[in-house]
Amino acid sequence: MKLLFFLLIATFCCPFYILAQGEIEEDPNSFFNHESSWGLYLTSTGYGINYHFAKRLNATKRKLITGEIFVVKHPKEVAMTNPIYGGGRYIFGKTNFCLAFRGGLGKQIVLFSKQDKGSVAVKYAYSYGGSVAFLKPVYYEVEPPGGVIEDKLFREIRNDQWIIGRSSAFKGFSESSFVPGVFVKGSVSFEYSTNNRYVSAIEGGVIIDAYMKELDLMAETDNSQFFFTLFIAYRFGKIINDNYEDEI
């Protein structure tokens, strides 16, 4: 969490030094750009991938269409092994694996456009929409007295020392459930590509998710239906410019 916070501060501060470099020479093509990009990101609650399509509305504003897939982790998750059995690694107390999806609309606003090849475009974006969390029960491989290996949910295990490791990732799919929710997201990105047909950017921001009920991620600890998340991402993609004859 501290490392993620440090990376966010560095993301927001460092590019302003870069903006001060070079001569001011506005790129006329920037007024006609749409943007299609992917983002790989780390968050304070997991990791994921997202897609943005930014459709130009005017010189500085674009309509934003977003989609995301991400893993939600409980902050108290700790991977471990049982030294008695020497089995595989597992997360002690984990009750459900959570894979979530977001889809939304928003706006992207260009605060500073590219000045020259050595400069950075700064963009602010916000989005909001619906989300859904997919919860799959996590089973553990255990060896109770008698030496019979069984698959058990964590809440069914009467002695933690019986745990050998995690069962197959496919175990429990038939018991999966879905929890709907909503989200709002705000971010700042710094696009530094030297080629005006491609996107290379660092993005950081915050996401607030609210689900209709608590996401049961861990046993014997507090779970929540609300998540306040910090994130940092690397974005890559393509600029769609009607002025380029070979652009699709």
In a domain, 233, yes or no: yes
- The confidence score (pLDDT) of residue 28 equals 47
What is the pLDDT, as a whole number, of residue 236?
Answer: 95
Q: Is residue 129 part of a domain?
A: yes
| Mean pLDDT value of segment 224-233 | 95
Residue at 144 is within a domain: no
Residue 184's domain is classified under what CATH number?
Answer: 2.40.160.20
Q: Do residues 164 and 143 touch, judged by C-beta distance below 8 A?
A: yes
Q: What percent of the chain has pLDDT over 70?
A: 82
Number of domains comprising the chain: 1
Q: What is the DSSP string of 167-183?
A: --TTTTGGG-EEEEEEE
Would 153 be classed as within a structural domain?
Answer: no
At residue 78, does pLDDT exceed 80?
A: yes
- The Cα-based distances of 173 to 38, 96, 151, 169 in angstroms read 29, 11, 14, 9
pLDDT band at residue 207 using 50, 70 and 90 as cut-offs = very high
Half-sphere exposure of 59 (CA within 13 A, CB side): 7
Question: Whole-number mean pLDDT of the chain?
Answer: 83
User: Does the structure show a pLDDT above 80 at 166?
Assistant: yes
Query: What mean pLDDT do residues 125-152 have?
Result: 91
Q: What is the pLDDT of residue 117?
A: 65
3-state DSSP call for residue 12? helix
- Segments forming the whole domain that contains residue 50: 2-74+97-133+172-213+220-241
pLDDT, residue 1, reads 52
Q: Is residue 11 part of a domain?
A: yes
Instruction: Work out the pLDDT band at 20, boundaries 50, 70, 90.
Output: very low
Q: Which residues of 70-107 are buried (b: 16+ CB within 10 A; e: fewer)?
A: bebbbeeeeeeebeeeebeebbbbbbbbbbbebebebe
Name the more confident of 244 and 90. Answer: 90
CB environment 178-213: b (16+ within 10 A), e (fewer): ebebebebebbbbbbbeebeebebbbbbebebebee
Residue 7 pLDDT > 50, yes or no?
A: no
Strand blocks (E) in the chain:
33-43, 46-56, 61-72, 79-80, 90-91, 96-112, 121-137, 139-142, 150-153, 163-166, 177-191, 198-211, 226-241
Token output for 52: 């943005």
Answer with the residue of higher pLDDT: 220 or 30: 220
Rounded CA separation 159/144 (Å): 8
- Per the listing, tokens 């745990």 go with 163
Which DSSP letter does residue 75 get? T
Task: Please give the residue that has the higher pLDDT: either 101 or 121.
Answer: 101
- The lowest-confidence range among 22-26, 167-171, 173-177, 206-210 is 22-26
Q: What is the pLDDT of residues 26-64, one digit of tens each?
A: 444 444 578 899 999 999 889 999 999 999 888 889 999
In a domain, residue 143? The reply is no
In this predicted structure, the answer to whether residue 150 has a pLDDT above a threshold of 50 is yes
Tell me the whole-structure pTM to 2 decimals.
0.80
Asked, for residue 209, whether it belongs to a domain, the answer is yes
Label residue 155 by pLDDT band (50, 70, 90). Answer: confident
Output the pLDDT for position 84.
76
Residue 121: which of 105, 110, 137 has the closest Cα?
A: 110
According to the model, what pLDDT value does residue 197 have?
A: 83
| pLDDT exceeds 80 at position 202 | yes
- The answer as to whether 54 is a domain residue is yes
- For residue 169, what pLDDT is reported? 87
